[in-house]
Amino acid sequence: MDYRVLVIEDEAQIRRILKNALVDEGCHVSEAGTIKDGLRQVGSTNPELILLDLGLPDGDGISFIKEVRTWSDIPILILSARFDEKDKIDGLNAGADDYLTKPFGSGELIARIRALLRRKTRLGEEVSSVIQFGNCSVDFANRTVFRNAQEVHLTSIEYKLLAVMLSRPDKVMTQTHILKTVWGDSYADSTHYLRIYMSHLRQKLEENPSQPKHFLTEIGVGYRFKQ
């Protein structure tokens, strides 16, 4: 992985662990301990990925995400402590791509980073209108869904939910984001709708709906589509 990664974290010990894990993978790492320095380094080192701690001495990471998102879609991975639960969701809603809860192993860190960078590469390629996962294939141009070569009928809400989930493979999406996108702003809190329709999708598209492999629950946060 020959990527430029910016680590924004105020605890020197954690920063060192992150840096070592990334350098071992062949990444070029720059470091910042504050939001102010982080923003400066985004400009000067032009990173391809940012690892962001939420609790920083000169403010919270959410304001950093909002600021960066006004001009860049660079992948941002949040590193959050357990007590940052609400901040983590605010961070995802502000435009972060994924999160890891501390403490985490370097294996998990590298796996998440690979997934984010893979997705970024894929977005840069020509977008295919057909997405395949498991035994299913979704053709967005024709609005058709097949499973084991049999067409699957989806209601318009189910299809919209499927399209939202498939739009960002590997990315965790908050319940609020999905509800607003599929149903509209006034449904941001109607989590029971989401639960019901997600179970419809699983019934129709998963091999074993009670142990889904593609439409995964992120407990307390939302859902993740895995191809």
Query: Residue 212: what residue type?
Result: P
Could you give the CA distance from residue 67 to residue 61 in angstroms, rounded to a whole number?
10
Question: C-beta of 52: minimal distance to Ca ion in Å?
Answer: 10
Between 56 and 194, CB nearer to Ca ion: 56
Number of residues that bind Ca ion (CB under 5 A): 3
Between 8 and 22, CB nearer to Ca ion: 8
> Are the beta carbons of 172 and 98 closer than 8 angstroms?
yes
Question: C-beta of 176: minimal distance to Ca ion in Å?
Answer: 25
Could you give the CA distance from residue 49 to residue 152 in angstroms, rounded to a whole number?
38
> Under rule CB under 5 A, which residues in 84-143 are in contact with Ca ion?
none
Is residue 37 within the footprint of Ca ion (CB under 5 A)? Answer: no
Question: C-beta of 51: minimal distance to Ca ion in Å?
Answer: 12
Q: Considering only the stretches 45-53, 118-126, 150-158, 171-179, report the one whose residues sit in contact with Ca ion under the rule CB under 5 A.
A: 45-53
Residue of 131, 135, 130 lying closest to 208 (CA atoms): 135
Between 53 and 90, CB nearer to Ca ion: 53
Question: C-beta of 33: minimal distance to Ca ion in Å?
Answer: 9
Binder among 31, 53, 97, 158 for Ca ion (CB under 5 A): 53
What DSSP string describes 35-71?
A: HHHHHHHHHHH--SEEEEESEETTEEHHHHHHHHHTT
- The answer, yes or no, to whether the previous bond of 47 is cis (omega within 30 of 0) is no
> Under rule CB under 5 A, which residues in 5-24 are in contact with Ca ion?
10
Between 11 and 108, CB nearer to Ca ion: 11
Q: How far is CA 29 from CA 12, 48, 168, 221, in A?
A: 14, 10, 26, 29
> Are the beta carbons of 121 and 181 closer than 8 angstroms?
no
Binder among 1, 25, 45, 55 for Ca ion (CB under 5 A): 55
Residues contributing to the site for Ca ion (CB under 5 A) = 10, 53, 55
